Structure 1
Amino acid sequence: MLLPHRFAKRIVECLFNTVSGKTLAVFGFAFKKNTGDTRESPAIYVCSHLLEEGAQLNIYDPKVECKQIELDLTSAAVTDNPDRVRKLIDIYTDPYDAVKDAHAIVVLTEWDEFTGYDYKKMLSVMKKPAFVFDGRKILDHQALIKIGFHTETIGKRFSRNTLLRSSGADI
């Protein structure tokens, strides 16, 4: 993964330079797939930055316990305001529930199951324009673009439909 803080900044930049008040579905919190180990997980740093910017995070990981996610994100090493963090995170046991009304999906662990999801179904319940930020380069980006996602990944940019800012300027 790109340096976590740079990836988090790229997410903010792509979401019109603010994530304040926006909901992001985070897929994966473990350091690596097939484990519940979060020690030194880049997800902690990415989520911490997004929380500092005011994002609401809907977090899903197949193995990491809810208590561990909360402990990692509210530790004194990560935040000086654990109560605020608790208000800004929701932890889900189903990825389809995590994406409801989200503005974006952020993939932070390379779980194999993430490649088999019905992203068309997910897109149908998300806010538009909907984004996917693939921090692990595991998804079929062209397929995601084809169904309507604006897709960003580390190291390459994809063409996307023109987005309009509220001012009417193309980006």
Structure 2
Amino acid sequence: MQDFIVQTLETERLILRPLQSSDAPCIYKHFANDAKVTQYLTWQPHANVQETQQTIQKWIDNQTNIFAIELKSTHEVIGTIDTGHLDARTKSCEIGYVIGRQYWNQGYMTEAFSRLLDYLFDEVGLNRVRADCDARNKASSAVMKKCGLRLEACKRQDVWTNAGIGDREIYAILKMDRHPHHFYS
């Protein structure tokens, strides 16, 4: 397994690149201040762009593996997608993501998630990727299913989000699920 480095990845419509401090205004404008977007997340909507700036700086300082999701057509950051809980022994990680409301239901997150899976399996050498969501967040579970993740568990009353206590759905995909005719050591 290679060391994981946030680098620039591209899709037909998107650029996934390392998050930068200068992304704060777009992030605040498109999703960090929106209560509807953060409804099923564990962090509160940001009160101002300075709060977004401070949050981004913490992520950068903590070397969080977070990508800005940038539209190729406008060069605006419309969301983020990140990896966490990287485990070298099991060659696994977790993915989290958020995207601005005006970009919902247009396939952007599925496109970004799918590209990140390609990178994690084919270039980094991971074997398993997991993601979870509040069970009430049907759009998020739909993204995971479209990307080939399978529901592994539903932990009852296991997550607190801005919508309150709820069930947590846990999805995962293995490298062999994505490339079923290839054998891995």
Structure-1-length-normalised TM-score: 0.38
Larger Rg: 2
Structure-2-length-normalised TM-score: 0.36
Larger relative strand fraction: 2
